[in-house]
Amino acid sequence: MLKREAHDEHRLFIDGQYRSALSGRMFEKISPITGSVIAQVHEAGREDVDLAVRAAKAALRGPWGRLTVAERASLLQDVSQAINDRFDDFLEAEIADTGKPRSLARAVDIPRGGANFSTFADMIKNLGSEFFKTDTPDGGTAINYGSYRPKGVIGVISPWNLPLLLMTWKVGPALACGNTVVVKPSEVTPHTTTLLGEVMNAVGIPKGVYNVIHGFGPGSAGEYLTQHPLVDGITFTGETVTGEAIMTQAAVGLRDVSLELGGKNAAIVFADADLDKAVAGTMRSVFSNCGQVCLGTERVYVERPVFDEFVARLKAGAEELVLGGPDYPGVGMGPLISAEHRDKVLSYYQLAEKEQANIVTGGGVPQFGDDRDRGYFVEPTIWTGLPETSALVREEIFGPCCHISPFDSEDEVIARVNDNEYGLASAIWTQDISRAHRVAPQIEVGLVWVNSWFLRDLRTAFGGSKKSGIGREGGEHSLEFYTERANICVKL
């Protein structure tokens, strides 16, 4: 079990060793549950980042680079097993950093930490290769086959909403393909990424293969990492504006990027839907993780005959949610991640009042009269009555809130859902299977769920269109991004 201390200290993890930042600079990690400092984090400067990247580069040519695919896959299965063996340590670290309900982190975040390694360890052993037999001009034959090698040093930059899940979602396949990584977790959730260094050492991952640098974005570790000339590829999950900055930084030296960015995801509820399931699914997609899920629903379109009933039932569900810290009795929703993020979400709550939205429920900061008043809680909130032009209907808020609009026809709702600059995910609720197949491909997003939400098979393509990202990860798409392919042509 992890030793709980009043103040944890998170060091950098470079070349298999925990180290202080060379500058000695540190920053504070604040608990979203209490608003007090729970850790000091070492902030990597340019020199620390350089050390980490050089360690990663050297490791490509060391024992790691000489492993067979089967040996590498076996070591990554050990990483997966070791995360599961230390499940409680990762769980405590994640809930302390994020404040999310223990039950949620136990069911989703930590299991995916292990699965992200085991899935790609399995896949890499079965990676096939294309083969073409070619007629040559002299009447002979050539054979062509595909070969792959690792891309090199991968810079991994991850966000705070699902810290272990989203970081390992990139580190797992990157290592499976034989790369080495330098990871910069979000400055507000440094803990599980740091802890993973212990696991890497314990199972015998060679030094320099997995490195961790802490810090911020611009003028700090994130920017130094993306600017480093020895970084061969950058994979990023976070906000669209940050993705734009990272893409600009990656353009120097023509480094490949994979960007998983923001969304303004819509749910469509047809009148023929099983309303019990549609309400329960939409409750999850709007309020899970306090609305801080990139795939979460912030726009709901409900066919007019069931609009009033749906709104009433979602309101009842929202009002039944128990707010509290990870272990609060019956907790269904935790706090937002930080004071800064709460200010952002509350600015939209205020805008809703200014724009005279119909506030179905919520819209403010809850007053508990107990310890919870120290945390960064906001009320689960539902609005109706706003036009499609409202910022509340168009912009990503990343909080526990949604706007619900009625619609009258399939064509109308498809046009309204697509009229947005994001294109990440959508959920369709209907019992008409033909309608589901007709509508789903017309939605301009990377992921469509029918009668479900966040049902994941890690072998499938994951990513967004428009301003929600570039490229796809998941399954063979991850293997494609994290490798360099070559064609070998042999004249027979």
For ligand NAD, which is the closer residue by CB, 186 or 426? 186
The one catalytic residue among 294, 396, 401, 402: 294
260 is catalytic: yes
- 350 and 339 in contact (C-beta within 8 Å)? no
- 196 and 224 in contact (C-beta within 8 Å)? no
Residues near ligand NAD (CB under 6 A): 157-161, 166, 184, 186-187, 216-218, 222-223, 226, 237-239, 242, 245-246, 260-263, 294, 396, 398, 424, 464, 468-469
Q: Which of the choices ligand 6OD, ligand NAD, none does residue 169 contact, using the CB cut-off of 5 to 8 A by kind?
A: ligand 6OD
**What's the CA gap between 180 and 65, in Å, rounded?**
9
Beta bridge partners of 131: 145
The pair of structure tokens assigned to 140 is 């002979």
Q: Which of the choices ligand 6OD, ligand NAD, none does residue 262 contact, using the CB cut-off of 5 to 8 A by kind?
A: ligand NAD
Strand pairing class (469-470; 425-429): unpaired
Q: Which amino acid, residue 60? A: L
Q: Which CA distances in Å does 180 have to 97, 105, 357? A: 26, 27, 50
Closest among 2, 24, 466, 104 to 263, alpha carbons compared: 466
Task: Give every CB contact of residue 9 below 8 A, 6+ residues apart in sequence.
Answer: 39, 40, 41, 42
- 79 and 205 in contact (C-beta within 8 Å)? yes
**10 Å Cβ neighbour count for 401?**
27
**Which residue in the shown chain puts its C-beta closest to ligand 6OD?**
294
For ligand 6OD, which is the closer residue by CB, 112 or 228? 112
The one catalytic residue among 43, 94, 223, 260: 260
Q: Which of the choices ligand 6OD, ligand NAD, none does residue 456 contact, using the CB cut-off of 5 to 8 A by kind?
A: ligand 6OD
Closest among 185, 215, 204, 265 to 67, alpha carbons compared: 204
Beta carbon of residue 125, minimum distance to ligand NAD (angstroms, whole number): 26
Q: Which of the choices ligand 6OD, ligand NAD, none does residue 263 contact, using the CB cut-off of 5 to 8 A by kind?
A: ligand NAD
Beta carbon of residue 310, minimum distance to ligand NAD (angstroms, whole number): 25
Residues near ligand 6OD (CB under 6 A): 161-162, 166, 169, 293-295, 456, 462
Q: Which of the choices ligand NAD, ligand 6OD, none does residue 279 contact, using the CB cut-off of 5 to 8 A by kind?
A: none
Q: Which amino acid, residue 91? A: L
Beta carbon of residue 215, minimum distance to ligand NAD (angstroms, whole number): 7
401 is catalytic: no
Beta carbon of residue 293, minimum distance to ligand NAD (angstroms, whole number): 7
Indicate which residues carry an active-site annotation. Answer: 260, 294
